[in-house]
Amino acid sequence: MLNITGQGTAHTCDGVSRRDFLQVGTLGAAGVSLAELERARAEGKTRPEGDRRSVIMIFNLGAPSQFETFDPKPEAPSEIRGPFKPIPVAGGGFSISEILPRHAEHGDKFSVVRSCYHTAAAVHDTGHQMMQTGRLFTGGVNTPHAGCVASYLQGRRTDLPPHVVLPEPMGSTGGNLPHGQDAGFLGKAHDPFVLMADPSKENFRVPDLLPPKSIGEARLDRRKRLRQIVDTTVKDFEGSENAKLLDSSFQAAFRIITSEKARAAFDLSQESKKTRDRYGMNRFGQCCLMARRLVEAGVRCVTVNTFLTVFNEITWDIHGTKPFTSIEGMRDIVAPMYDQAYSALLEDLTQRGLLEDTLVCNLSEFGRTPRVNPAGGRDHWPQCWSVYFAGGGVQGGRVIGKSDPIGAYPAEHPVAPNNAVATIFKSLGFDLEEELPGPSGRPFPLVDQGTEAIDELF
């Protein structure tokens, strides 16, 4: 992943600085081989001109309780229903928890799936993999994030990268497994662009992506020397396909880090104080605002991590004891922040005419146990939980699927993680029978045979 830091320095995952990257003048410094880039170019496909769909994936790391959010059980015993009351959403089609009052005002814009489940281990990492890629990683094969698939199939629209992760990749969630937020077997050429900074901080500034003139000259000198070495080593290198790829790949990467449009898209200072306050002056709120700016500027997929870890901070992971969160902490800290930012995002997308072409999907790795535990929290429960979708062709005001009376298992229309990812692909207009270049170049199905999108959402 190529990271932009708030200090104005870009680093690759191997710690190579922007200065090194520019001076070398190739993508090799970022860990991207010519073979990977050549394959991406040769096999990559683009959508028809005029394609406008984008995705904002809000990933609720830590896993919200379905009982305290989108599947309240007011008729269940107190140890199951929890402490909060249900409230009707706009239009009266269904009810959600009272701790999300602003969501309720926009219930006509989003639809909830109350019957999501998976059968893998009840650890955060496995759910992260499946809900973002559609598959559990097995046999050493890491499947790509949905946004990285969009990068491969559609390419970039503008100077901006096709997929951006905000504010940074998921950190430790206890399993030490990959989280599924990179391109996996598609290669580093399709990894997301990652902002390694908190845009809510007072000292946050748009990274200065233009290299000083002295660095530009040094880069040109070193590139000339590198080319001279290669020319004397490889016959007719200048006319070869690899040489052409070297030049075009460098220009593509250089365009990202020098584009005025790219810098402007990340520049929240261009927004009024009123707008920034509307989203909430916190990390998640400002990331949601930046996500709107990015899709408006042409980014195909923005992944927003609500939290970065489940340890030693207030998150959705409501076990009830430290280093985790209590139900009260969720009510007092997490829910207000989340409610404010999501409602502002929907309002903003709607007012700007962007919602119809922007799928906003709110996902998580699993749900929470039907019974409140002795510590006053709820534990991991992948057998049933809720996710929800808005925009991108989705019809609002609906409930898809149903859980049983105690919210423990799907009672109607069970939905697996691969169905949720297929729904993203459907919104983007992908053919679900499409094949990707898998490990060793073998064809790899976009989704497993028989996997369907959640068609009732559209």
Task: Report how far residue 262's alpha carbon sits from residue 250's, in angstroms, rounded to the nearest whole number.
Answer: 17
- 200 and 221 inside one domain: no
How many other CB atoms sit within 10 Å of the CB of residue 428? 23
pLDDT per residue as tens, the chain (458 positions): 555 444 444 333 333 344 333 433 333 333 344 444 444 444 444 444 448 899 999 999 999 999 999 999 999 999 999 999 999 999 878 999 999 999 999 999 999 999 999 999 999 999 999 999 999 999 999 999 999 999 999 999 998 999 999 999 999 998 889 999 999 999 999 999 998 899 999 888 755 444 444 445 555 455 556 555 555 555 554 555 555 444 444 555 566 667 788 889 999 999 999 999 999 999 999 999 999 999 999 999 999 999 999 998 899 999 999 889 999 999 999 999 999 999 999 999 999 999 999 999 999 999 999 999 999 999 999 999 999 999 999 999 999 999 999 999 999 999 999 999 999 999 999 999 999 999 988 999 999 999 999 999 99
| 37 within some domain | no
- 192 and 290 inside one domain: yes
- Digit-coded pLDDT (tens) for 93-117: 899 999 999 999 999 999 999 999 9
Residue 176 is predicted with a pLDDT of 87
- Look-up: residue for tokens 């984008």? 54
Domain end among 258, 281, 297: 258
- 279 and 319 inside one domain: yes
| 353 within some domain | yes
- Look-up: residue for tokens 């990812």? 421
Residue 206 is predicted with a pLDDT of 59
- 54 and 84 inside one domain: yes
Distances (CA, A) of 326 to 64, 68, 73, 250, 312: 12, 12, 19, 49, 12
Structural domain span for residue 332: 47-206+263-457
| 40 within some domain | no
Which two tokens mark 332? 């007092």
Contacts of 1 (CB under 8 A, 6+ apart): 12, 13, 165, 169, 182, 188, 191, 192, 193, 194
The SS3 assignment for 390 reads strand
Which amino acid is it at 70? F
User: Burial code of 332-353, b = ≥16 C-beta within 10 A, e = fewer?
Assistant: ebbbbbbbbbbbbbbbbbbeee
Residue 2 is predicted with a pLDDT of 52
Which two tokens mark 99? 């701790």
- Cα 108 versus chain centre, distance: 24
| 41 within some domain | no
For 189-219, give the DSSP string: GGPPEEEES-TTSTT------SPPHHHHHHH
- 178 and 101 inside one domain: yes
Question: End-to-end CA distance of the chain, in Å?
Answer: 33
Contacts of 105 (CB under 8 A, 6+ apart): 89, 90, 343
- 237 and 251 inside one domain: yes
| 158 within some domain | yes
Task: Report how far residue 405's alpha carbon sits from residue 375's, in angstroms, rounded to the nearest whole number.
Answer: 23
User: Burial code of 259-288, b = ≥16 C-beta within 10 A, e = fewer?
Assistant: beebbebbbbeebeeeebebbbebbbbbbb
- 202 and 214 inside one domain: no
Residue 35 is predicted with a pLDDT of 43
Residue 202 is predicted with a pLDDT of 87
Pairing of strands 2-5, 10-12: antiparallel
The SS3 assignment for 45 reads coil
For 224-272, give the DSSP string: HHHHHHHHHHSTTGGGSHHHHHHHHHHHHHHHHHH-HHHHHHT-GGGS-
In terms of C-beta distances under 8 Å and separation of at least 24 residues, what long-range contacts does 435-438 make, across chains too? 436/144, 436/149, 436/152, 436/185, 436/186, 437/39, 437/43, 437/185, 437/186, 438/141, 438/185
| 334 within some domain | yes
- 361 and 391 inside one domain: yes
Q: Are 56 and 291 in contact (CB under 8 A)?
A: yes
Domain end among 196, 231, 258: 258
Contacts of 228 (CB under 8 A, 6+ apart): none
Domain end among 258, 276, 297: 258
The helix (H) or strand (E) run that includes residue 80 is helix 78-81
- Look-up: residue for tokens 């107190």? 78
Contacts of 354 (CB under 8 A, 6+ apart): 292, 295, 296, 348, 391
Q: Are 444 and 185 in contact (CB under 8 A)?
A: yes
- 329 and 447 inside one domain: yes
Nearest to 423 by CA among 360, 354, 347: 360
Task: Report how far residue 439's alpha carbon sits from residue 449's, in angstroms, rounded to the nearest whole number.
Answer: 18
Provide the CATH number for the domain around residue 286: 3.40.720.10
- 297 and 391 inside one domain: yes
| 375 within some domain | yes
Q: Are 260 and 270 in contact (CB under 8 A)?
A: no
Nearest to 84 by CA among 362, 363, 330: 330
| 69 within some domain | yes
| Count of domains forming the chain | 2
- 26 and 123 inside one domain: no
Asked if omega into 167 is within 30° of 0 (cis), the reply is yes
- 62 and 193 inside one domain: yes
Contacts of 212 (CB under 8 A, 6+ apart): none
